[in-house]
Amino acid sequence: MNKLLNWLDDRTGIRELMHEALFERIPGGARWRYVWGSTLVFTFSIQVITGLFLWTAYSPSAQTAWESVYYIQDVMYMGNIVRGIHHYSSSIMVVLMAIHLIQVIIDGAYKAPREINYWLGLILMQIVLALSLTGYLLPWDQKGYYATQVTTKIMGATPIVGAQIQELVQGGPAYGHHTLTRFFAMHAGVLPGLLMLFLGLHIYVFRRHGITTPDPDRAPETTFWPDQVLKDAVACLGVLGVILALAVFKGAELSGPANPSEAYSAARPEWYFLFLFRFLRFEAIEHIGLAFGAIYVPGALMGIITLMPIIAWWKGGHKFNVAFMWLIAIGVGVLTGLAMYEDDKDVGHQASIAEANRDAERVRELAKRPSKIPIEGAGSLLRDDPFTQGPRIFAKYCASCHRYNGHNGRGRMVMEQLKEQENGKEVSRAVASIPTGADLGNFGGEGWWKLLLLNYENHVGGFTKIEDSEMATWSKDSRKAMQDPKNADDVKAIYEYLASLSARPDSEYNKKLVEKGRKIATGEEFITAGKFASCTDCHGTLGETFEATGEGFGYPDIADYGSKPWLTAFINDPGTDQFYGEDNNKMPAFKGKISDRELDLLVRWMTGDYYETEVEDYESKVKVLEEALKARNGP
């Protein structure tokens, strides 16, 4: 072994290199405050290693990027851990970089003759932030797509050359596929190369001037090996432990595939850019303009930080620099906390996050189907999924009159502005909007029929109380008999039969109960006690196969009530004699207003005709709506 080492040293001079690297003199002894530079190099090394593994499976195109990240996350062995380590090491690196910068300024390690090293460090900081920014887009998911789009618009706000810079960065006049390939080239090639170059220069200049020691007499002088190496190793181990814990127990997020045609209000930049996001939302900054808030102000602050070595020439300059740095750190912390607090209290934003999480869970569920991801890409999985698109279409066309379990179909309350007089002035406040139609949650199911038959005047009429219709009268007359314990089995059979008409694929029905319910509903049998008029007294087509003829007697045809053919015909034109007739109908006809594709997705969602899911439905807002309306109008 000794001969081998002598041979290697003779050819390379490795002993001298190792001695130079390990036996740097440290006046005042090894200290924990010196570990931050080493931890930064360590986290960058982690990102390089994990980045290379991710690169082996990543495909940088608008049609394959999300799909390849999904493969890494959910299919590739340990891929989720590797991606989690890569993701969280980038966040940890930003934190370590901030701590390192503050420590350098407090210790005065930016003063002569170390100005060049300080400026090299600032260049490295900009490269690290650029790496974080470019990496955010690469999954090509909704979150990264819309958040990064804001960044390219900010670049476009640069005076004089903004439009040219934006076009250069996004790869043309439009934000899209070439933006992704440009960002990937920067993230995986150009920026890491620049970081390695400037890191080498930074370490070289640092070694030339040595460690800045605030108190060199605090302890005997030592060397980098072994005392400081031990502290650096312990610190790096701690950083690795935090990164691994986050990667294993939290994991990196992957939202739904990027969809340029659909707005994504839940998008936010990564947490370390939230301070700028919140700063730009101040009304005064919005009024002055994007360039002022995103270019001039940050540019001025960065200019002062860059000039700190020169500012320190004057008496009191160092104290100013330290105070200024702490002021910036506090400001960034306050703005970040404010942004998080406001988002947490923003009901609309939280609803958007819930929907985004729901979409992310659903698309990965669809991608695991036997048919897997189609050649059109993962975006088509959500676009063609009734479970995903049905609530959106309901919110677009139906929620102005109806609710779905108390909300607009997408888990959000429907609000309106109510004008009131307060202290002689007209004020406006947001209140729950009063629905004018039936709540369609679990439409055609057993629970829905129970509400319809027992409390028709409120269930169908919403909170407008339809009390004068024939069905409302029937409901009042039959209520006592249906609530009589003696009729429990018969009533259960009626609900089971009526629910079976929609033939929902996610439901199983008791054949004996269905047959018994059919006989009672058609008048072939009677319930045990009380007054109960059969359904066929008015609805003569009960029990037959539904056909959209448009002909009838002005009472809703309940053959196959709630099934796909029935709903399709009803939504297209509810005013035909087969349903309510022109005189009694209040619902607009949607034929020509809604596309065939949208109608098909809506109907399939309402009838449960979609690929099975374990994604939880939106939380019911029925109780919330009732309480809100009571508070608004009184009990």
pTM for the predicted model, two decimal places? 0.85
β pairing state of 415-422 and 425-432: antiparallel
Is residue 391 one of the residues assigned to a domain?
no
Is the per-residue pLDDT at 463 higher than 50?
no
In sequence order, the 6+-apart residues with CB closer than 8 A to the CB of 62 are 140, 176, 177, 180, 258
Is the per-residue pLDDT at 619 higher than 70?
yes
What local confidence, expressed as pLDDT, does residue 507 receive? 72
Which tens digit of pLDDT belongs to each residue from 584-614? 778 899 999 999 999 999 999 999 999 999 9
Count CB-CB contacts under 10 A for residue 607: 23
Domain boundary among 253, 281, 307: 253
Is residue 615 one of the residues assigned to a domain?
no
Q: What are phi and psi of 460, to 5 degrees?
A: -80, -40
* Distance, first Cα to last Cα, the chain: 91
What local confidence, expressed as pLDDT, does residue 634 receive? 61
Is the per-residue pLDDT at 530 higher than 80?
no
Confidence class of residue 464 from pLDDT cuts 50, 70 and 90? very low
Among 109-118, 274-283, 420-429, 478-487, name the one with the lowest average pLDDT.
Answer: 420-429
Tokens of 485: 């314990």
Total domains present in the chain: 2
Domain boundary among 235, 253, 271: 253
Confidence class of residue 547 from pLDDT cuts 50, 70 and 90? confident
Domain boundary among 224, 253, 282: 253
Among 79-93, 111-125, 216-230, name the one with the lowest average pLDDT.
Answer: 216-230
Is residue 594 one of the residues assigned to a domain?
yes
Nearest 5 degrees, angle CA 445-CA 446-CA 447?
95
Confidence class of residue 26 from pLDDT cuts 50, 70 and 90? confident
**pLDDT mean over 308-325:** 95
113: cis peptide before it, omega within 30°?
Answer: yes
Is the per-residue pLDDT at 467 higher than 90?
no
Give the closest residue to 297 by CA, choosing from 267, 269, 332. Answer: 332
Is residue 282 one of the residues assigned to a domain?
no
Is residue 329 one of the residues assigned to a domain?
no
Q: Mapping DSSP to helix (H, G, I), strand (E, B) and coil, where does residue 434 land?
A: coil
In sequence order, the 6+-apart residues with CB closer than 8 A to the CB of 286 are 280, 293
Structural domain span for residue 224: 20-253
**pLDDT mean over 87-110:** 95
Is residue 355 one of the residues assigned to a domain?
no
**pLDDT mean over 175-182:** 92
226: cis peptide before it, omega within 30°?
Answer: yes
Give the closest residue to 270 by CA, choosing from 54, 73, 94, 100. Answer: 94
The amino acid occupying position 386 is P
Is the per-residue pLDDT at 465 higher than 60?
no
Distance of CA 505 to the CA centre of its chain: 30
Which tens digit of pLDDT belongs to each residue from 341-355? 999 999 888 888 999
Is residue 516 one of the residues assigned to a domain?
yes
Q: What is the CATH number of the domain that holds 53?
A: 1.20.810.10
Cβ pair 622, 441 in contact under 8 A: yes
Confidence class of residue 267 from pLDDT cuts 50, 70 and 90? confident
Q: Tell me 357's DSSP state.
A: H
Which tens digit of pLDDT belongs to each residue from 30-46? 888 889 999 999 999 99
Of the spans 40-49, 206-215, 288-297, which averages the highest pLDDT?
40-49
Helix residue spans in 23-78 (DSSP H): 36-55, 65-74
Nearest 5 degrees, angle CA 48-CA 52-CA 57?
150
Is the per-residue pLDDT at 96 higher than 90?
yes
Percent of the chain with pLDDT over 90: 53
Tokens of 144: 């990264």
Q: What is the DSSP string of 452-507?
A: HHHSHHHHTTTTS---SSHHHHHHHHHHHHHH-GGGHHHHHHHHHHHHHTT--TT-
Nearest 5 degrees, angle CA 505-CA 511-CA 517?
105
Give the Å distances, CA to CA, from 352 to 163, 265, 267, 355, 617: 31, 6, 9, 5, 14
**Biggest CA-to-CA distance, the chain:** 109
Mean pLDDT across the chain: 89
The helix, strand and coil proportions of the chain, stated in percent and rounded to the nearest 5, come to 60, 5, 35
What local confidence, expressed as pLDDT, does residue 542 receive? 66
Half-sphere exposure of 441 (CA within 13 A, CB side): 21
Is residue 84 one of the residues assigned to a domain?
yes
What local confidence, expressed as pLDDT, does residue 458 receive? 72
